[in-house]
């Protein structure tokens, strides 16, 4: 069974992961360069903006499955620009790299959990999924449940009568007498 929401969350997490790696690569490459071009700065700011947007979407879309490191966006906001990353101390950069790596692991954990859900869902048959949906949606409504019980009883009585009409002779004669037939 394919869950479109789950597939969307998996795809969104993968895109976020790609952006997260690109963010890191831009920071590391800036530290190695002598000069940062305006295009590089613009690319870096675009990646930061996209990370912020996608982080929010993931947070809302994943709900209780959301387990990204809470400091993820703090890391993004601390990296103001490539120029500031280039001039930051080695200690500050090492701290940011450690935090980035911790967030990277949590993104991977989230992606792994989502892919495990997908694998479990793939084992569910269509009939099993339909029954689970029926049970979840219909059986929670007491009126529908009462109607199903009444219909079930009527079907059983009808089938019993068809199998052995004599079984109901007493009830039939009582019913006829009640209405004067």
pLDDT digits (tens, 9 = 90+) for 60-119: 888 776 677 778 888 898 889 998 888 888 899 999 999 999 999 999 999 999 999 898
pLDDT, mean of residues 39-53: 94
Secondary element (H or E) of residue 32 = helix 4-32
- Model pTM greater than 0.85? no
pLDDT, mean of residues 115-135: 77
Close Cβ partners of 31 (under 8 Å, ≥ 6 residues apart): 85, 86, 93
User: Residue 46 above 80 pLDDT?
Assistant: yes
Q: Say which residue the tokens 């090492």 belong to.
A: 94
The domain locations on the chain are 4-124, 128-178
- CATH architecture assigned to 4-124: Up-down Bundle (1.20)
Residue 18: its pLDDT value, please? 96
Q: Say which residue the tokens 């966006």 belong to.
A: 73
């Amino acid at each position: 069974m394919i869950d479109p929401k789950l597939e969307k969350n998996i795809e969104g997490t993968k895109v976020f992961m790609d952006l997260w790696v690109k963010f890191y690569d831009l920071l590391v490459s800036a530290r190695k360069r002598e000069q940062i071009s305006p295009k590089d700065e613009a690319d870096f700011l675009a990646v930061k903006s996209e990370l912020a947007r996608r982080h929010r979407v993931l947070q809302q879309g994943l709900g209780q499955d959301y387990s990204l490191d809470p400091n993820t966006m703090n890391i993004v906001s601390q990296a103001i620009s490539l120029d500031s990353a280039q001039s930051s101390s080695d200690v500050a950069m090492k701290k940011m790299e450690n935090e980035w790596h911790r967030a990277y692991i949590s993104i991977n954990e989230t992606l792994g959990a989502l892919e495990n859900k997908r694998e479990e869902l793939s084992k569910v048959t269509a009939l099993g999924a339909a029954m689970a949906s029926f049970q979840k949606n219909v059986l929670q409504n007491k009126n529908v449940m009462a109607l199903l019980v009444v219909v079930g009883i009527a079907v059983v009585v009808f089938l019993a009568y068809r199998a052995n009409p004599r079984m109901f002779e007493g009830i039939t004669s009582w019913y006829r007498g009640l209405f004067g037939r």
